[in-house]
Each structure stands twice: as structure tokens, then as C-alpha cells.
Structure 1
Amino acid sequence: MSTTSNTPHKPSAKELVIGLSVLLWLTLTLLGLWWFQQQTLRPFIAPEDDARLWQAQATEALFQTALQQLPADSSDVVLLHFWNPDCLCNQVSQRHFNGILEAFNDAELSVIAITSEHTSAAQIAEFNRLNGQRMTLLQIPAAQLPLSASPGLALFNRVNGEYRMGYFGAYGFGALCSVANDDFFPNIIRNLQRGPYGPFMNVAGDGCFCSWEP
């Protein structure tokens, strides 16, 4: 009659090394995520930012400098995308931005990237090389347009020959700049295409943002 041993299995040295390696990898990954969040999580509008950015009418007035520089053939709906090339948070909002570009063509939506006076000539040249067919880039000093954070956006539609603001704020909040519905911004743009809409201010919250001024 055969017997079965109840002696517990003792892990080999190789198994211990593999287990410790996996544990170390998980620990480093969690520490990396924590560090990333600590470095990038901030309010979309910080206490030191321009207080006018909390008020829709005042914010709309701040964008007049940018709106006066729009190409003559701009569509009735315009997206102003706040672009800081050195911001790590661009990656987490890129999904929302790409979804907007895929949903609307040039005739339906003009996309204008706004960058600060500190963006280098090399970065501007690279941007134009990659995006020149779809986007226009405006370099505007902070004294003329005191934005708070990047990434972010403003949406305008042309009403009686003048652009009126429909949306201003973040692509999303939290560490991943998420929104509950991926069709959130396309829906706003469709509403703007039908006529006046908003303005909708989405500025109260913390997320993955970089200060507009270094």
C-alpha cells in the first residue's frame, strides 16, 4: 500500500529569487506611480493663477488676442488647445484630444494649438512638421494670455460674426485626466455647431497638469 507524504513544499532558491524579483518590481512600479502623481497633481487653477480664469465673461475676454490671430479660413467652431511641449501630462490627455480630431474634419472644426513664449524654435519646428496639415500653432506671451495650466482647452463658435466661448477648462481630472464619457467633448462640439452653447467652465479640480509658466 502506497502512502502520500504530507510534507509541505519548500520553495527552491530559484523560486525565492523569482518571487522576490516580482515583489521588487511591483514595489518600484507603485513608487513610480506615486512619484509621478506627486510631481504632476495640482489644481487646474492654482491660488497664484489669474483670478479672472474663474469667470466665464472675463476668460472669454482674455482669449481675444488669440482669436484675432485665427486663420481667415477657420471654421465656425474652433478648439484652442493649450500645449506645453515639456509637460509629462500631455500623454494622459492625448486620448481625449485624438478622439476629437478623429470625430471632426477641418471644415467642421479648426484646431489651434497655443503655446507660451518659452517654447523653443526647435520645438515649434517639430510641431509644425508633425501637425502642420491639421493644426495651427500660435505662440502667445503670458502677459497677453495668462493661462493657468496645460493640458487644457477652450471651445468657441462663431455667432453673428464673432467667436463666443462654449467651454473652458481641463480635458479631465485625476491622475489620468479622465472623463466619464469619451463622447463628452464631441457632444459639446456638436452643440456648438447648432448655435450658441454655454459657456461651460470646467476648472475646479486637481489632475495631471503642468503650470503654464515655468
Structure 2
Amino acid sequence: MPASRRKIIIATTAAVAVIVALGSAFLWFEARYLRPFSERTAIFSGAAIRLPADIAGPGPIRLVHFWDPACPCNVGNQQHLAELVEHFSARGVEFYGVQKPGSHGQLPETLKDLKPLAQLPGSEKLPASPAVAIWDKAGNLAYFGPYSSGLTCNSSNSFIEPILNALAEGRSVNASNNMAVGCFCDWTVEAE
């Protein structure tokens, strides 16, 4: 076989191998990240959500952040949460975090002030994350649901700032059942 023909066969084989490898990598990436990152509808019902006994009852406004380290939807949400912590901690709001059971990861350094909760009664039936629950000063669940509606979350489309402002001013809020379309990841682990 002539040397030029052998070079063409080797180059063609290498090109096909690269194309197959890139295609496989894209399919893995799509299955791992793009599918859970798509917009979906989630229905949040706060009927079963309770604060742990050691922090329940009258006290400061309490915000609990539900997060899954593997969820790509956390990226924009965590920046927004860091801004909330910075602004509302000075107004007496306490911030807590609940990590998806069985997951492993750490919040970014900007969220180091979140107090970790091992579990939150009723959160095992959380439909999706990222999500938030807010209790008023009387210890009543004021809000349970997403941070916002849509694929991104920031102060311009967030539900949280108006709720925290209302509670800080002593106004009543009762929004513990919500439906939203946004970037969410499943919270419950499906049996295999």
C-alpha cells in the first residue's frame, strides 16, 4: 500500500475517532446538565414544612434555602442569595440552608453565613430546588416556593425581596402554596 494512501486512511480513522468522542461527550453533557437545566413547572405546597423545634416559634424572620450541589440551576441563584444575605442580615433576618439529602458539596464562600440545617421536617417531599421557605416573626410560614419564575433569578424578578420587605415592616404575608415555571432540579431521589 502506498504511503500516501496509508496517511489518508490514518487521518480518516483519526477524524472519525475524534468525531465519535466529541459526539459521545456532547451526549453525556446533554444528559447530565442540559436536561435538568431546562424550564419546568413545579408546584410547592407548604402544608408539611416545619422549622426544627430548636428554632421554631416566635423570633426573627427566618429564611431557609433548599439546594442541591449537583443542580446547575444554583449558579445564578446563589449570587442572588448572597445579595439577600448581605442586605437582609442587617435587618435581622436569619438565613439557613438545607442540602439535598444524600448529596455532597459545599456552598460558595459568599454564603458562609448560612446556618446549616441537617433536615427540615416536611422537606423530604419538596418538589424541586432551588427553593426557599420564609417564616415571619410570629413563627408562621409566610412563603414557600421558588426564588423567582423563569430560567434566571435576580433581584428584578425575585419574589423574595418584596416578601422580606413586607415582613420586616410588620405586614402579614401568606404565600405558602405556589406554582412556578423555572429552572428546577428534582429534590426527591427516585428508586432505581
Confirm or deny that 1:43 pairs with 2:27. no
For 2:115 and 2:143, locate their aligned partners in 1 and report how far apart those are by CA, in whole Å. Answer: 19
In the TM superposition, residue 117 of structure 1 has moved relative to its aligned partner by 2.4
Answer yes or no: is the 8 Å Cα contact 1:93–1:172 preserved in 2.
no
Within the alignment, does 1:110 sit opposite 2:94 as a pair? Answer: yes
TM-score in terms of structure 2 length: 0.66
Structure 1 portions without partners, runs of 5+: 1-30, 46-52
- Are 2:160 and 1:185 equivalent residues in the alignment? yes
Query: Matched residues, percent identical?
Result: 23
Q: 1:198 aligns with which of 151, 165, 173?
A: 173
CA deviations 1:29-74 (Å, max 9, x no partner) are xx9xxx56543222223xxxxxxx44xxxx24x222x3324399x9
Whole-Å separation in 2 of the counterparts to 1:200 and 1:144 = 17
Deviations 1:172-191 (A, max 9, x none): 12222467446x52332121
Residues 1:68 and 2:47 aligned together: no
Which of 72, 78, 93 pairs up with 1:94?
78
* Counterparts in 2 of 1:38 and 1:142: CA distance versus 1, 3 Å: farther
TM-score where L is the length of structure 1: 0.60
Distance 1:196 1:211, change over 3 A: same
Matched-pair contact (CA < 8 Å) for 1:75–1:108: no
Shift of 1:77: 0.4
Aligned-pair CA distance for 1:149: 0.8
- Could you list the per-position Cα deviations for residues 91-122 of structure 1 after superposition, in whole angstroms to 9, with x for gaps in the alignment? 122232122112122661100101232134xx
1:165 aligns with 2:141: yes
Moved over 3 A (4+): 35-39, 126-132, 141-145, 177-182
Q: What residue is the counterpart of 1:153 in the other structure?
A: 132
Aligned length: 159
Matching residue of 2:188: 213
CA distance in 2, matches of 1:128, 1:176: 18
Partner of 1:137: 116
Larger radius of gyration: 1
Partner of 2:160, secondary structure, is helix
CA distance in 1, matches of 2:145, 2:121: 17
